[in-house]
A = this chain, B = another copy of it.
Amino acid sequence: VTFAAALEQIGYRGAERCGEHPLSAFFELHIEQGPILEAEGKDIGVVTGVQAMRWYEATLTGQDAHTGATPMHLRKNALLGAARVIEAVDWIGRKYAPGVATVGLIENRPNSRNVVPGEVFLTVDLRHPDDGVLHDMQEEFYDRLKVIGDDLALGAEGKTIWEQPAVRFDPDCVTAVRRAAEISGFSARDIVSGAGHDAAYISRVAPSAMVFVPCRGGISHNEAEFSSQQQCAKGAQVLLQAVLDYDRQLAERGGKDAYRGGS
């Protein structure tokens, strides 16, 4: 069953072809999903873009061995290698701040109390607002992975499984958001989104920008996610103000046609 056929069946397909809908601009309001605005006591984040992201997978291969019977100097401990990769990835994040670098997932094999681990699979997430710097972070990751494997006599294979270039939001849209916060009397700072958003994709076909509001502890995708009614209201106020402002400018610039998205 294709997506189109399923939409057809429930009467939701509609007549308009994908990409044909006219868009003058796109403004998106979102919680920050990070702790920066809260930490700095700011009401509004003026989102200037979305950082570039790349995902990697790595496998370290050693030799399963009995924890009691295998002297330290004769081990090929894949989990020790993984520990060094985790430390190295964290170090890369700190070195290239405001970039971030994380090992989020790890699978240890055979994962038994009395077996020196013979194989570890892990994932790495690297992000930076600048594509060039992200490339440097990637080089450093692959270099460190090789050195760690060599030092411990482990196999160490890594590969890039996904990448998304940095997004820079439309300067006029961003200016509209910044001015909206100012007019409304809210404290604001420019911010680069660490997470992906609808606006990052829509920015490929129409001028876009985003408004962030603080969220408690930077927690998201979690039942503990929370922004107060007041925080949300300020975000909505800035969103409305920015749309009105941008629309007014558009009219002043002589009623430039709404952008028609395409491939």
Contact = CB atoms under 8 A, between A and B. Distances in A.
B104 A69 contact: no
A113 interface: yes
Contact of A86 (B69, B70, B83): B83
A127 B33 contact: no
Contact of A111 (B71, B106, B193): B106
B68 A194 contact: yes
Interface in A177-216: 193-196
A222 B112 CA distance: 13
A195 B127 CA distance: 45
Contacts of A34: 65-66, 68-71, 74
A70 B219 CA distance: 9
B104 A68 contact: no
B51 A68 contact: yes
A32 B69 contact: yes
B112 A105 contact: yes
Interface stretch (A115-123, A168-176, A237-245, A249-257): A115-123
Contacts of A196: 68
SS of A interface (majority):
mixed
A55 interface: yes
Given A64-B222, A83-B86, A104 B100 contact: no
Nearest to A126: B67
Interface in A57-92: 63-74, 77, 79-80, 82-84, 86-87, 90
Contact of A87 (B53, B65, B87, B105): B87
Contacts of A73: 94, 97
B97 A104 contact: no
Nearest to A118: B222
Contact of A74 (B39, B63, B104): B39
